[in-house]
Amino acid sequence: MTTRSFGKLSDGRTARLFSLTSASGFQAEISDFGGTVVRLFAPDRTGRLADVVLGFDSVERYPAESPYFGAIIGRVGNRIAGGKFSLGAKTYSLVTNNAPDGIPCHLHGGNVGFDKVLWSAEPATIAGQTALRLRYTSADGEEGYPGELSAEVTYSLTPEQGLRIDYKATTDQSTPVNLTNHSYFNLAGAGQGDVLDHEITLRASRFTPVHPGLIPTGDRAPVAGTPFDFTSSHRIGARIGAAHEQLRLGAGYDHNWVLDSTDGQLALAATAYEPVSGRVLEVLTTEPGIQFYTGNFLTGSLTGKLGATYAHRGGLCLETQHFPDSVNQPSFPSTLLHPGQTYRSTTVYKFSSA
């Protein structure tokens, strides 16, 4: 593992960039700012490496401009309705930093979520592989959340050209926790147009439809017969413009799919394929859900790494997670972590070619 400067934050602190490289040349570059995956080099069917995640060349642009490119998301990923939830007799008010359809909600941990903090970093070893271990302590009351939360995220490369992410957290008060990574993938290469020709498979026969404001209704609707059916491979662009109310509300795909695997073991959740390069991305997770997002709010105005312009729908996200707004939805798997418990979650982004 090598380390170099990634620039300075507005308060003068230096962010660092850590490079993990496998014997095959598969490489991940990760910053201690936000635990951000900045670059990820994967081979195409001829063995040519390309950076397949969106991002910026230095840390200075991330705090104000990044739409969560590559970052660790917490304390709770995705949306919480109205920025409010109750534990026992007490109601907690969180920052409301997002308002789809003019309806305020709490998104991705608030104004200063885990994506915008400097984590402590140290080298580690997992299954004989060099790894990067990141730690952050979220204070009681931070962004409105109860309890001091100690979070740990470890990145490692697997022998099968995978980037493995292991999440761990403990708390001194009951609090919701739902950690994820928000990498935007373009398997043709970052900045190489949109992702509409990517083909997606999701191992999910149901999804959680949303109200205006993108808060789940509480239902788990079957995908069969709808544009949300990715149980077999479909090109993203084939149905994203369909006259479907859920696609209108999300401005495309921006929904949680209920994974068929329910036992909490590491299992295949999603596959993405880019036909020109032949690159294949498989997502394995212990989580019960996955947010498939098609970069609908990328406008084409952002210039990223090496001066590349990131097009509308220039990246796709496959965010492994518990369901959105679970803290307010009793029928969803619980996101509450209590003192004495340890939150654990694992996701692997595995690359190959076809």
pLDDT in tens, 230-268: 999 999 999 999 999 999 999 999 999 999 998 999 999
Average pLDDT over residues 294-304: 96
- Tell me which of 182, 234, 255, 322 is the catalytic residue: 182
Omega of the bond leading into 133 within 30 degrees of 0 (cis)? no
pTM of this structure: 0.98
Our answer to whether residue 319 is catalytic in this structure is yes
Vertex 187: Cα angle to 77 and 134 (nearest 5): 40
User: What pLDDT sits at residue 129?
Assistant: 82
Model confidence at 290, pLDDT cuts 50, 70, 90, reads very high
Average pLDDT over residues 41-54: 96
Q: Which residue has the tokens 């919701």?
A: 176
Residue 242's φ and ψ, nearest 5 degrees, are -65, 150
Average pLDDT over residues 303-321: 97
Which CATH number belongs to the domain containing residue 169 in this structure? 2.70.98.10
Our answer to whether residue 182 is catalytic in this structure is yes
- Tell me which of 274, 287, 319, 322 is the catalytic residue: 319
What domain range includes position 342?
2-353
Average pLDDT over residues 66-89: 97
Give 255-281 as a DSSP string.
EEEE-S--SSS-EEEEEEE-TTT-EEE
pLDDT in tens, 127-140: 778 899 999 999 99
* Total tally of structural domains belonging to the chain: 1
- pLDDT > 90? residue 327: yes
